[in-house]
Amino acid sequence: MKKSAAISLHIPPRMWCDFRKSMLKDRSFNEEVIGFLFCQRHQVSKHKIRYIPRNWVVPTSDCYEYQSTSGLVLKQHFHSYLLENYLQPGLDVVHIHTHADPGLPDFSYVDDRYESEYARFISSHFPKKPYLISGVFDEDLQFGKFRIWDRKGQKFEPVNFCNSLFEISSVKDVMNNTDLMFVRQKIFGSANQNVLHQLKVGLIGCGGIGSIFAELLGRLGVKNWVLVDPDKLETVNLNRMPGATEEMVRQEWDKVHYVKHLIQKIYQEGSCVTTIPTTVKSELSRQEISTCDLIVVATDNHFSRKTAQELALKYMRPLVCLGTHIAVNSDNTPRMYCRITVPPMGGGWCLMCGNIISLQRAALESAPLEINQMVAGAGYLEGVNDPAVFWLNSICASTGVGVIHGMVSGFLNVDSGIDWIYEFPVSDWRKTNTEYLQTDHCYFCGMGSLEEVVEDSDFEDSEIMGW
């Protein structure tokens, strides 16, 4: 455990809500309860480690050998079952328990003793030597603190706990109120403006929608970007890319550099833009995207959307998906659509099980060139000359930026995800009822808790560890 790294535990709001509810439900029968989260460790940077929950379990009362205000003892077989299933694959364990006193609780002497023993026990009994993170909360699970133990159970360090969409402190570096540029946005609160300033956005696709999106979100206050797009500017793009010129096309500008140029025109100083002129498939793209607070995908292909969704699920980051489509009716009149999709962070449904993208097309797009040419010849793929206009892309990009503004400022709840489709010229916003998209069994986002499993308690009665 490196001393210099800041360690955080980021539980998405929906997951924390479910976990907390489950803990509180159990507490109505028992004096104290415990809950487990099994987390993946993600080294965001040299100085930052983030723990991302993969599963959680709140044992029901029949899983306990002994349960009272003074301590808890899980049945050994149940406990072994938990650890073998979740720690074997290389996850670390987070253990949360409550104290009956109101207000911010502190770890007790008993906690210290048991946790130290427990930290040593798990690190010596599992090949991947998992770490123990422990949390103590008040009985309403409102106030709590976390710490991580070393493998010898001798020392611990504090862990920052975050249960919001973005892991950004709104109090740090309070915005300079003399910043005239954002005076007209004061109504949304300076704390929210401050989050926008710190937010790091990974934008996959810097074309017709991505460029407008970057211009708009940049003007809103976002200065930190990772831009991914393998293409260069072409003359056919000039109908819909703000500020793009024929000269840039002649000079063969990468689209990522053109969008960086847009951001730097907004901020003469203080912006930080990483450009990656390759596909999202590249290792570099994946690495950089994994450091972002938010992933936005604005490409015209299914494969990069699928990859973006996989990254968002893996690193537990919110994903915003933007797209437009122009079709032609039999009488030659156009029907135009734009779509803004935000799958719930941490599962529930995703672009794949929600059928927002086609896996078949994603597979074709990632196939070797010959196969693609063959399929295109057979009429399976839409051409690269798909119709696209600036104003339709702008509706899509603006709404996407509005959604993000709402996520940051809290005026839009995206916990269950959103999927909005605008149709022009009928001028209809259709909102998918995301309840119908919920699924437990998706290959990509399925990550059910173990609540049902733990009801069954055919466990041997003997003590292993108590709290």
Q: Looking at beta carbons only, is 20 or 223 nearer to Zn ion? A: 20
The site for Zn ion (CB under 5 A) is made up of 108, 111, 350, 353, 442, 444-445
Q: Smaller CB distance to Zn ion: residue 133 or 233?
A: 133
Q: Which of 388, 369, 202 has its CA nearest to residue 296?
A: 202
C-beta closer to Zn ion: residue 216 or 357: 357
C-alpha–C-alpha distance, residues 192 and 339, integer Å: 26
**11 to 56, 318, 326, 341, 420: CA distances (angstroms):** 10, 12, 39, 22, 26
CB-based closest residue to Zn ion = 442
Whole-number minimum distance, CB 302 to Zn ion, in Å?
Answer: 15
The phi and psi torsions of 60 (rounded to 5 degrees) equal -85, 170
Least Å distance between CB 443 and Zn ion?
7
Distance in Å, CB of 291 to Zn ion, minimum: 24
Q: CB 26 → Zn ion: shortest distance, Å?
A: 16
- Distance of closest approach, residue 398 Cβ to Zn ion, in angstroms: 28
Q: Give me the least distance between CB of 348 and Zn ion, in Å please.
A: 8
Let me know the angle formed at the C-alpha of 185 by 184 and 190, rounded to the nearest 5 degrees. Answer: 125
C-beta neighbour count of 131 within 10 angstroms: 21
What distance in Å separates the CA atoms of residue 203 and residue 158, rounded to the nearest whole number? 33
93 vs 353 by CB, closer to Zn ion = 353
Under 8 Å between Cβ of 76 and 463: yes
Q: Are 322 and 298 in contact (CB under 8 A)?
A: yes
Residue nearer to Zn ion on the CB measure, 117 or 179: 117
**For Zn ion, which is the closer residue by CB, 442 or 450?**
442
> Can you state the angle between helices 109-125 and 76-87, rounded to 10 degrees?
60
Angle, alpha carbons 403-226-244 (nearest 5°): 85
Between 65 and 111, CB nearer to Zn ion: 111
Residues 163-173, buried b or exposed e (16+ Cβ, 10 A)? Answer: bbbbbbebeee
